[in-house]
Structure formats: structure tokens, C-alpha cells
Chains A and B, each alone.
Chain A
Amino acid sequence: MTRQAYPLGFTTAVESDTVRAGLDEEVIRLISRKKNEPSFLLTWRLNAYRHWQTMHEPSWSNLKLNPIDYQAISYYSAPKSKTDGPKTLQDIDPEILRAYNKLGISLEEQKHLSGVAVDAVFDSVSVWTTCKEILNEVGVIFCPFSEAVLQYPDLIKKYLGSVVPYRDNFFAALNSAVFSDGSFVYIPKGVACPIELSTYFRMNAANTGQFERTLIIAESGSSVSYLEGCSAPMRDNHQLHAAVVELIALDDAEIKYATVQNWYPGDEKGEGGVYNLVTKRGICRGKNSKISWTQIETGSAITWKYPSVILKGDNSVGEFYSVALTNNYQQADTGTKMIHIGKNTKSTIISKGISAGFAQNSYRGLVRVAPQASHARNYSQCDSLLLSDHCGAHTFPYIEVRNSSAKVEHEASTSTISDEQMFYFQQRGIDTENAISMIVNGFCKTVFSKLPMEFAVEAEKLLELSLEGCQG
């Protein structure tokens, strides 16, 4: 028996401005008009849409997906606001503030988590960004994507789609056509961003999709640490989330990107839950640059994502640390791609998959070493922990090496919690639920240690919660 608590599954009663369901050029023009976008962006969206129409949903993943009716989804939903954009917190619907408070995120400056700036995205739009003054002082730009489009069109023009072009894949093309908001980060030359940046995505309206875009640019010698969190109400139909994240690191720059994904996973029978179909990719464009992905994936009915790094600059470093936990009927097909192009490039992949109930958990990873990437190095470790007799763990490593000086290592393991281990814990007074959480936390320790301190604690709690009632 598995029961699962999802305390974040509440809905918020706000008046929304929701575009009619369905997708055509008219809807795309409407979204673009609502945001007063420059014409280059509308053209880009329409090109993406036209290309998307020629594409098919990918079928290679190890996921069982109900067919998605793209005409039944509304592609834009925004909470109505009295003014055009909130100038102060008073302009935001108090229901939304209450919703974020319930999620443990305060948008009031004096109460926010110390040292963290938050961009709060509610359905299709960003509702508030905190800590703007601190960031302004050092020239860091952290704002809603739609604001960046208007204020920094040159940066958007230069970098949008430069890492994930709209032709990349079906869901990236869809996102490029209809994306509504997201976060934009620009770290100027030589600046170490003084605080953590984070975005909290909340899907509220029914029958809508969330299609956000995040773009982070780290100029030469700069560094930034960014964290995103997500949740959604419990709804018995599937909600679609198709995001795109692009990271660009120039010479000697470093980007750390962490995700704590806790979208509604569906109920214990597999009804409802979010389809999380995401394209995340970073490019180490400059020499000695570094991009590090850390993800804690516990939510969503379906997770399909492969945060990747293109190691173009010489001596650049890519890292991927992942914990993916699936319970009940959740399915995850997740991993990474490390594309070595520059010389002396290094990548590390640590993936921890945990399955319980009837869940299926797949690691899929590609390590590619191009002919010119001399002395490239990769170390991959993929561990799976099975907590029931009905769940599955799968590993699909792809390794393509075209340079003989490369060193590529891959280690994999699968384990379960034996009756003997469980009895040992019990004999010392520790019940099975606590024993499982101790073992799971131990299993994930190397990945948790990559998260900022306060989020590592959150992640532990989240895992405990997601496994509640699950006994091997």
C-alpha cells in the first residue's frame, strides 16, 4: 500500500485572463500582442510554430504517455491585475501572495530567505521579483523574461535559441511558439552574483499549460547560482509543462543551476499529474568555463528531461547531479548529454534513481567526445534503488568517443533494501519508514551536498514526504 501526501496541491481563487483553448497563428499573435513584443520575436514564434507543425512527438523514451490533445490546452493564463504590471506588492492580488506564503516563499523583502532573490511565476506570467536593488548595484539583471524582451531586446536577439534552437525537438518548438514568461539573468563581466537567484513556478489555472523560458548569460569571469522550484494544484487531468532553459557561460564563467521539481505527481492510481517535458541545455562557450546542473525530481506524473552541457571552450567543465524519485505510477526518463568539443574538457555525471510502488525510472545519458576534443575526460555513475517488487529501474548509457586520448568511465549499480537490513534498523528501534528515509538520504547524499545548504534540508524533507507510506 502506498499513500502519498501532496500538501502543495491547493488551488488559488484568482480571476484569470485566460486565452481560449487551442493553438493556431492567431493565438500566437495574441500572446505576442499581450506582451507588446517587438516584431522579431513574433516572427521567431511563428517560424517555430510552422516548424512544430511538421514535427511529431518523440517516441523513443521509455515512457507510457497518454496522447496529448494540443488543441484542448489554453496556452496563456495570467492572473488579472488592476494595473498593467504590479509596481508594488499592494498591486498583487492578495490571494497570490497568500499562495506563495503557503508554499513557504515570502515575496516581502524583509521576510524573504536571506541571501536569495526570488522571481515568482504564477501560471503564464511573472508576478514579482525580489531583491532588485541589491542586484542593480552590481549590474546583475534578474527579471521576468517578458520584461527583458522589452528592456534588453539586443541580448534576447543575440542569445534566444542560441543553445536550444526551436528546431531542436518537438517540445522545444512548441515552447518557442507559445512561451509566455520565465526568468532572465544577465551577469556582467567579472561579477560574482552576491546572492542566490531563484524562480518559483506555480501552475494554478486548470486546463492550461505552462511554457516558460529561462535564459541565463554569464559574461567572462562572472559566476551565478540559480535555483528553481515548482509545484501545482492537484487536478485529475494531466497538465502540460514544456519549458526551455538555456545557459551561456563565457570565458572563465561559472553557472550553477539547481532544480527542485515537485509538480503534482498524480494520485496513487496514476490519475492526473503534470507532464513535465523539458529541454534544458547549457553551453560552456568560453575557455575554463563551468556549468553544473543539480536536479531533485520528485514530482510530475511524467518527467522527460536531459539537462545537458556543450563543452565548447577548452578546459571547460560540465556536471550533472541528479536524484529522481518516482512512486506509485510516476514515470521518469531523465539524464544528461555531455558533448565534448573543446580540448581538456571534463564532465561528471552522478545519477541516483529511486523507484517505489509501480513507478518506472530510467536514466538516459549521452557522453560524446568529438574528434578535436583531445584529452577529454568523463566519469559517470548511475545508481538505482528499488523499493518495491513492482517498480522498475533502467539505464541507457550512450557513449560515443571519436578521439583516442579521451578517458571515459561508467559505473552503474542497482540495489534494494534487504529484509535483513530492515530488521537491523528495527532491532535498534527505528521503524521501517524512518529506515527507508535514512537509506534513501544516504543514497542521495553526494547529490544533496551540491545543493545550497537550506535547499539540501528541503530536499531531504521532500523525499521523505514523497515516500510516505511506501514500504518495500
Chain B
Amino acid sequence: MLEIKNLHASVQKKSILKGVNLTIKPGEIHVLMGPNGSGKTTLGKVLAGSPNYIVSKGQVLFNHHDLLMLSPEERARRGLFLGFQYPVEISGVSNIYFLKAALNILRAQQGLKALDALDFKALIQKKLEILEMDESFLYRSINEGFSGGEKKRNEILQLLIFNPTLAVLDETDSGLDIDSLKHVAEGINQFHHKDNGLLLITHYQRLLNYVRPDYVHLFHDGKIKKSGDYRLVSHLEKLGYEKALTRELA
């Protein structure tokens, strides 16, 4: 469903992505690990269409369409979801209003009729239970005054409501206590099935104790340096990125 071919991108003339190649097929979970500043977050933002980055080279196909030609909202409507590393606060707009508006746009795209307030409440209730989120979340402004963990859970709540075909989750496991981590992992597992894809950007093995990836990639200096299966994770945890990389290059 996703094919990234030799992708190069820069921000303010600084080159960040330097030839990324990655293919994700339906039902697969991929994990991207790598040191800070290696360009993992940039990859997620470029896929989602952030206007801050300029793509200088390469191609991205999403369900056989040229992803890079589409506006950010068009990418989202076609089923691409980005779980933000730092979800932004938007005061004055209530969470429930936002979620309902966004869901109904997606439904319209799929030729489904809009959900009214009651149907939407019923749908969201189940998702809240999975994440053990209080209903009061819905009536607060988007992410405003949320703790780090609450913001991340709110991203997973959206993942479950919008049910995209491909989700890129950028460090959704960072800054979570053990309980929150379990809920986030539970949410991800609830979401995942054989027809959708997941790209998890993470630093830690601990999320992977709950979510089992099919492929693990070591990302460094703007590209994937090494790919493997689940065993690569423990390899990295043991050696650290530095050593793993020098061994690789040697």
C-alpha cells in the first residue's frame, strides 16, 4: 500500500531525508528506530504533507496514487494518518466537535452518511473504554492543558475513530507511564488488522513488548541503514545505535 522510492527532502535548505526506500504491504507493522535528529519525524511529516518540507527527489505511491501530488487533507481523506509526536493545542475548539467534524468528512469521502450526535457518542464511547479515557476529555479544547500522556492517548483515540488504512505513529510511546503505555499498545492492537498498515517510530523496545512488528528498520542520517525482523530490536538495545551502526558500516 505504501511504496517510498529514493525520497529526498529538506527543510530551510538543510537536507534531512537522503534517499529513503521503504515498502509497506497491507497487514504489516514496520518499526523505525534510530538516533535523535536522524530524520524519522521528518519522514512522517513529509508523508503527511507538511508544508514546511521540500521534497527534492523521489516518489511515494500510496495505494498506487502519487501521494506527493495531494494536499495534506486529501492524503488524510484517502486514509493516511499521522500520530503526532507533539500534538498541538487548539483552544476554543472542543475535542468532540473536532472529532465529529473530521469523521464526517472521512465518511463523506467513503460515501457514508454523516453520523449525528447520538450515533457518534455511541461510537466514541467504546473507544474511550479501550483507552480508559474519561468522557470529560471530549468536552475540553483540543489537547489544551492535556498532560503528555493524555495527548498521546488522544492521538490513539483518533486512530481508532478515523480507522485509516495506513498509520504513522511518531513516538506515541514516549513520555508514557506503564499504564498509559499499556492502553496505547492496546489501542494500536485494536486498530491493526490484515488490511491496514502501521509505521511505528520509536526509541524503545518497551512498546514492542506489546505490539509485535514484522519489520524493524534502523534509520540514520536520512535513510534506512539496516532492516531486519524483531530480533534487530534487541540487537539495537544491547549495542546502542552508535555501535550497531559502526559494526554495520565496518
Chain A residues near B (Cβ < 8 Å): 415, 418-421, 423-431, 434, 438-439, 441-443, 445
Chain A residues within 8 Å of B106, by CB? 429
CA distance A429 to B93 in the complex (A): 16
- Taking a contact as CB atoms under 8 Å apart, the answer to whether B92 and A445 are in contact is yes
Closest 10 CB pairs of A and B: A442-B92, A426-B72, A442-B93, A429-B76, A428-B102, A426-B73, A429-B105, A429-B77, A420-B88, A431-B73
Give chain B nearest CB distance to A429 CB in angstroms.
4
CB interface residues, B 77-121, toward A, < 8 Å: 77, 81-82, 84, 87-88, 90-94, 97-98, 101-102, 105-106, 109
CA distance A445 to B52 in the complex (A): 31
Chain B residues within 8 Å of A418, by CB? 88
- Taking a contact as CB atoms under 8 Å apart, the answer to whether A428 and B158 are in contact is yes
Q: Which of B52, B73, B97 has the most CB of A within 10 A?
A: B73
Least CB separation from B83: chain A residue: A427
Sample of 13 more A-B contacts, CB < 8 Å, known A442-B90, A442-B97: A418-B88, A424-B87, A424-B88, A424-B142, A425-B73, A427-B48, A427-B75, A427-B76, A429-B77, A430-B73, A430-B105, A431-B71, A438-B93
Q: Which of B75, B77, B102, B106 has the most CB of A within 10 A?
A: B102
Chain B residues within 8 Å of A420, by CB? 88
Q: A426-B71, A426-B72 given as contacts; is B90 within 8 A of A439 (CB)?
A: yes
Least CB separation from B75: chain A residue: A427
CB interface residues, B 58-82, toward A, < 8 Å: 71-73, 75-77, 81-82
Chain A residues within 8 Å of B84, by CB? 424, 427
- Taking a contact as CB atoms under 8 Å apart, the answer to whether A438 and B101 are in contact is yes
- Taking a contact as CB atoms under 8 Å apart, the answer to whether B98 and A438 are in contact is yes
Least CB separation from B92: chain A residue: A442
Interface range, B side? 20 to 34
Least CB separation from A413: chain B residue: B91
- Of the candidates A423, A431, A434, which one forms a contact with B50 in the assembled complex, judged by CB atoms under 8 Å apart? A423
Give chain A nearest CB distance to B83 CB in angstroms.
10
Chain B residues within 8 Å of A434, by CB? 101
Taken residue by residue from 22 to 61, chain B's Cβ proximity to chain A (1 for < 8 Å, 0 otherwise) reads as: 0000000000000000000000000011111000000000
CB of B191 within 8 Å of the partner chain: no
CA distance A424 to B71 in the complex (A): 13
Give chain A nearest CB distance to B109 CB in angstroms.
7
Chain A residues within 8 Å of B97, by CB? 438, 442
Give chain A nearest CB distance to B50 CB in angstroms.
6
Query: 10 A-B Cβ contacts within 8 A?
Result: A419-B51, A427-B48, A427-B75, A427-B82, A427-B84, A430-B105, A439-B92, A442-B91, A442-B92, A442-B94
Least CB separation from B48: chain A residue: A427
Chain A residues within 8 Å of B71, by CB? 426, 431
Chain B residues within 8 Å of A429, by CB? 73, 76-77, 102, 105-106, 109, 162
CB interface residues, B 210-241, toward A, < 8 Å: none
- Taking a contact as CB atoms under 8 Å apart, the answer to whether B98 and A428 are in contact is yes
Chain A residues within 8 Å of B105, by CB? 429-430
CB of B141 within 8 Å of the partner chain: yes
- Of the candidates A425, A430, A442, which one forms a contact with B141 in the assembled complex, judged by CB atoms under 8 Å apart? A442
Interface of A is mostly: helix
Chain A residues within 8 Å of B162, by CB? 428-429
Give chain A nearest CB distance to B186 CB in angstroms.
22
Give chain A nearest CB distance to B169 CB in angstroms.
13
CA distance A426 to B102 in the complex (A): 9
Chain B residues within 8 Å of A421, by CB? 88, 90
CA distance A426 to B49 in the complex (A): 9
Chain A residues within 8 Å of B87, by CB? 424
CA distance A382 to B114 in the complex (A): 36
Chain A residues within 8 Å of B77, by CB? 429
Chain B residues within 8 Å of A438, by CB? 93, 97-98, 101
Least CB separation from A439: chain B residue: B93
Chain A residues within 8 Å of B72, by CB? 423, 426-427
CA distance A438 to B102 in the complex (A): 11
Chain A residues within 8 Å of B52, by CB? 419
Chain B residues within 8 Å of A439, by CB? 90, 92-93
Give chain A nearest CB distance to B62 CB in angstroms.
14
Least CB separation from B108: chain A residue: A429
CA distance A439 to B98 in the complex (A): 10
CA distance A262 to B49 in the complex (A): 38
Give chain B nearest CB distance to A351 CB in angstroms.
15
Give chain B nearest CB distance to A340 CB in angstroms.
30
Chain B residues within 8 Å of A415, by CB? 91
CA distance A420 to B87 in the complex (A): 9
Least CB separation from A429: chain B residue: B76
Give chain B nearest CB distance to A431 CB in angstroms.
5
Chain B residues within 8 Å of A426, by CB? 49, 71-73, 76
CA distance A41 to B23 in the complex (A): 85
Least CB separation from A383: chain B residue: B92
Give chain B nearest CB distance to A467 CB in angstroms.
15
CA distance A419 to B94 in the complex (A): 19
CA distance A132 to B133 in the complex (A): 54
CA distance A124 to B32 in the complex (A): 72
- Taking a contact as CB atoms under 8 Å apart, the answer to whether A430 and B92 are in contact is no
CA distance A426 to B142 in the complex (A): 14
- Taking a contact as CB atoms under 8 Å apart, the answer to whether B51 and A423 are in contact is yes
CA distance A362 to B158 in the complex (A): 39
